[in-house]
Structure 1
Amino acid sequence: MPDTVDPWESLRDDLRLEPVADRLKRLRARMWLIVQAAAGAVLAWVFAKHVIGHELPFFAPITAMVCLGLTYENRVRRVIELAIGVAIGVLVGDAFVHLFGSSWWQIFVVCVVAMSLAVLFGAGQLLMMQAGIQGVIITTLVAGDGEALNRWIDAAVGGGVALLIAVLAPMRSTTQRPRQRIIALVGNLAMLLTETAQSLRIRDLDRARAALATARQLSAELDEVRESTLEAAAAASVAPLLAGSSRRDVDAIRRLLTPLDLAIRNARVLVRRAESSLDEYQYIPPSYIDMIAELANATAVIQERIVTQEPLASAREDLISLARRTTVRDPRAGLSAEVMRAQIRSIVVDLLVLSGMSLAQARRRVPPTREELDPG
C-alpha cells in the first residue's frame, strides 16, 4: 500500500522550516499593500456613513479591501467584477425574498441562480462568488425598503475608493524593486560560478556541495523577481503618476527573466556535475575550470551593466571570446568534464540572449565544437 502524505504535517514542516528572516522580508514587501487596504476600508466606511448617510455601511469597507487585496495585479478588473457580482446577487436575492420569503430552500435557489447568471456573464471567480454571497446576505438578512439598493451603493463606494487608491497609491519604489532584485540575482549567479570554479581548483567537495545548495535557491529567488515584476507591471499600467520611463524599465526587466531562468537551470546542472566529479575523484582539465571562472566574470559584467543601466550588448565580447574557447576538447576529460563544457556553452547562449540577441543569433555566435564538425 503506498504511503500517504499528511497535508497537515506538510504544512507544519513548511511553517517550521521557513526562516524568520524570509517571513519578515515578505511582510516588508507587502506592508504598503496592507496599509492601502486598511486605508481603503476606513475611507470607504467614512464616506458611506458620513457623506451618503448610511447607518451601517458594512459592505463599503469590505468591498474596498477585497478589490485592493495584497497585489496590484488585476485591481481594476476586481473592482468591476465585484460591482457586477453585488448587483446580480442583490437583484436575485431581493426578488426571491419578495416573491417567496426567506427559508433554507430559497438560499439554495438564490445561490444557484445568482452564480449561474454570473457565469453566463463570463464571470471570473470573484464575480461569481460575490453574486452568491450577496444573494445569501439578502436572503438571510431580510432587507428593509431601500436597503438592498443601499448595499449596492456601499459596494460602489468601496469599489470607487479602491479604484482611486489603485491609481494614486503605487510608488516609484514598486517599479524599482524588480531591477534591484534582478541585480542581486545576477550577482548571486556570478558568485555561484566563482565558487564552483574555486571548489574544482582546490578540489573542495564541501565547497562544491555548498555551491549546489546555493544553485537550488536561485530558482526561488527568480520566482521572487518574477512576482515583483508582475506587481510592478500591474502598478505601472494603472498609475498615471508613474512616469513612462518606469513602465519601460519594468518591461526591460521582464524581458530578462526567461533567458536568466534558462541560465540558472543550466548553471545548476553544471554545479551538480562539479560536485559529482569531486565526489568520484574525476579529473577536470584546468582549462575547463578557467572557462567557468571566465563565465563568472562575464556574468559579473552583465550585473554591472544592469546596475548602471548601460546597454547589455556591451557585455557580449567576453561571452563571444569564451564561446570560441569552448570548442576545444581536452583529450583527458571524462564524462562529467564534458557535461560541464556543454553547460558552459549553453549558459553562454542564455546570457547572449539576455543581452538582447535572438536565440538564433546567439547560437550562431557559439561556434560548433570540433566533434560536431568532424564526428569521425
Structure 2
Amino acid sequence: MRDRVRDVRAVLRRTVTELWARRREPAVVQTVRSTAAATIAYVVALQLSSEPAPLTAPLTALLVVQVTLYSTLTTGIRRVNSVVVGVIIAIAFSALVGLTWWSLGLIILASLVVGRFVRVHEFVPEVAISAMLVLGVTQVTSGAWDRVLETLIGAVVGLLFNTVLVPPVWVGTAGESIEDLARRMRRLLLGMGEELTTPTPVERAAARLHEARRLDNEVADVDAALRQAEDSLRFNPRVKEGVLHRIVLRTGLDTLEICIVVLRVLARTLTDLAKERRGTDLFPKDVAVALEDLLARVADTLVSFAVLVSTHVSADADAAEDRLAGELRAARAVRDHVAELLLRTVQEDPSQWQLYGAVLADIDRILDELDLEHRGRRLMEELDRHSRERAERRPRLSAFYDRLGV
C-alpha cells in the first residue's frame, strides 16, 4: 500500500513538474488567457444583458483573445463586424418574412454574399450564423440587440484583456525553432560525412536523401512559429525594434531554407555517386577524411548561424558573429584543401569528375549563403524594401516622419 502511495505521489510530482516546465509554451499560455477572458466576459454579460445565459459573450471573447496582441485586434474588429452585419440582415428579413425553409436559405445566401463584401475574411460563416440565430428568436428585436450587446461585451473584454495584460513576445520560441532546425541539418551533415569513409550502399545513401527531403516539413513548422513571433511583435509596447527583429528572423529562416534545398541536392549527388561506385568507397581515403571534416565544419557553421539569428542582446550577438566568422574561415580553409585533393583524384581517374565537382559546388553554395557579408547585404535590402512599402502605404505619415528626422 505504501509503495502504491509512493508511486502515485511520484507520478503527480512528475506531472506537476512537467506542466510547470511547459508553462511558457504558447499553447499553455493561450489556454489560460482564453479561459480567463471568457469567464470575465460571461460575468460582465450577466450584469448587462437581459438574457438568462448570455453565452455569446464568452464565445466571442474566446475567439477574440489570440496568442498575440496584433491578431487579437484584427480578429476582434472582424468578428464584431461579422456579427453586427448578420444581425442587421436578420432584422431586415424578419420585417418581411418569418422563419421558413426558403427564407432560411435566402438569409444564408444573402449573409454569405454580404460577408464577402464587408471583408470579414475567416468570419464569413459567422455572418450567416448570427443571422440564423437571430431570425429564430421569437422576439426578434430584443433578441437581436441582446446578441449584438453580448458580442460587443465579449469583444471589448477580449481586447482589453490583451491590451492590459499584453501577451508574451514569442521571439524566443521562434529562435529556438530555428536553432532546432539547424541542429537537425547538422545531424544530417554529420551522418553523411561519417558514411564517406566506408563503402556506402545505395539504400543508405537514398535514406539520407529522404531524410533531407523531410526537412521541408520542419521548415513549415518553423515558419508557423515565426509567423506567430512576427505577430507578437506588432503593436506590442514591450518591443522597441519589432521590424528589425522580424526581418532578422525571417531572413535567417530563408537562408536555412535555401541551405536545405542545397543539402537535398548534395544528398542526391552522393546517392548518384553510390550508384556509380557500388561496393567501393565513394572517395579515396584521404579525400573522404578531409571531406568528412569539411561537412562537420559546415554543420557547426549552420548551428552558429542559427544562434546568431536568434540572439538579441548586442554583446551575445557580437560573440555569436565572431564565432560564425571564425568557423567560416576554418571551413573555407578545409574546403580549399578538399578542392586540391579532388583535383588530383580527377586527374588520375576522371570517370566521376562531374559528381565530385557537384559535391564541392554544393558546399560552396552553403558557405556563400552563410557568409556574413552576404547576410549583411540581405538585411539591408529587406530593410530598404520594408521602408519603401511603408512609404507607399502611408505616404503622408512617412513624409511627416521625414520632416521630423525619424
Q: Scaled by the length of structure 1, what TM-score is found?
A: 0.76
What are the superposed Cα offsets for residues 52-107 of structure 1, whole Å, 9 maximum, x if unpaired?
55422121122122223677773322211111111111111112113322222221
Residue correspondences, number: 332
> What is the alpha-carbon distance in structure 1 between the residues aligned to residue 109 and residue 364 of structure 2?
58
Map 1:182-221 → 2, pairs under 5 A: 182-205=178-201, 208=205, 211-221=208-218
The equivalent position to 1:106 in structure 2, one of 99, 103, 127, is: 103
Shift of 1:152: 0.4
> What is the alpha-carbon distance in structure 2 between the residues aligned to residue 72 and residue 262 of structure 1?
31
Q: Percent identity?
A: 20
The aligned counterpart of 1:291 is: 294
The aligned counterpart of 1:352 is: 371
What are the superposed Cα offsets for residues 335-358 of structure 1, whole Å, 9 maximum, x if unpaired?
332221121121122222796243
> What is the alpha-carbon distance in structure 2 between the residues aligned to residue 354 and residue 216 of structure 1?
29
The equivalent position to 1:151 in structure 2, one of 147, 151, 157, is: 147
The answer to whether the aligner puts 1:120 opposite 2:128 as a matched pair is no
Map 1:251-270 → 2, pairs under 5 A: 251-270=247-266
Map 1:137-176 → 2, pairs under 5 A: 137-167=133-163, 168-172=165-169, 174-176=170-172
C-alpha contact 2:179 2:303 (8 A) present in aligned 1: no
Shift of 1:270: 0.9
Gaps of 5+ in 2: 1-21, 381-406
> What is the alpha-carbon distance in structure 2 between the residues aligned to residue 139 and residue 304 of structure 1?
57
When residues 29 and 297 of structure 1 are mapped into structure 2, their CA distance, relative to the original with a 3 A threshold, is same
The aligned counterpart of 1:15 is: none
The answer to whether the aligner puts 1:310 opposite 2:313 as a matched pair is no
C-alpha contact 1:215 1:264 (8 A) present in aligned 2: yes
The equivalent position to 2:45 in structure 1, one of 44, 48, 67, is: 48
> What is the alpha-carbon distance in structure 2 between the residues aligned to residue 98 and residue 82 of structure 1?
25
The answer to whether the aligner puts 1:336 opposite 2:339 as a matched pair is no
Gaps of 5+ in 1: 1-24, 362-376
> What is the alpha-carbon distance in structure 2 between the residues aligned to residue 275 and residue 159 of structure 1?
57
> What is the alpha-carbon distance in structure 2 between the residues aligned to residue 264 and residue 175 of structure 1?
22
Secondary structure class of the residue paired with 1:64? helix
Letter in 2 for 1:198: E
When residues 169 and 279 of structure 1 are mapped into structure 2, their CA distance, relative to the original with a 3 A threshold, is farther
Letter in 1 for 2:361: A
> What is the alpha-carbon distance in structure 1 between the residues aligned to residue 144 and residue 301 of structure 2?
65
Q: Scaled by the length of structure 2, what TM-score is found?
A: 0.71
> What is the alpha-carbon distance in structure 2 between the residues aligned to residue 258 and residue 304 of structure 1?
15
> What is the alpha-carbon distance in structure 2 between the residues aligned to residue 138 and residue 194 of structure 1?
63
The answer to whether the aligner puts 1:32 opposite 2:42 as a matched pair is no
What are the superposed Cα offsets for residues 15-42 of structure 1, whole Å, 9 maximum, x if unpaired?
xxxxxxxxxx9xx652322333333222
C-alpha contact 2:37 2:161 (8 A) present in aligned 1: yes
C-alpha contact 2:80 2:151 (8 A) present in aligned 1: yes
> What is the alpha-carbon distance in structure 2 between the residues aligned to residue 169 and residue 210 of structure 1?
46
> What is the alpha-carbon distance in structure 2 between the residues aligned to residue 303 and residue 139 of structure 1?
55
Q: CA RMSD in A?
A: 3.2
Shift of 1:280: 3.9
The equivalent position to 2:220 in structure 1, one of 210, 214, 223, is: 223
Shift of 1:269: 1.7
> What is the alpha-carbon distance in structure 2 between the residues aligned to residue 276 and residue 73 of structure 1?
49
The aligned counterpart of 2:397 is: none
The answer to whether the aligner puts 1:319 opposite 2:338 as a matched pair is no
> What is the alpha-carbon distance in structure 2 between the residues aligned to residue 130 and residue 109 of structure 1?
16
Shift of 1:151: 0.5
What are the superposed Cα offsets for residues 99-150 of structure 1, whole Å, 9 maximum, x if unpaired?
3222222212222333333333234231x22221111112223335422111
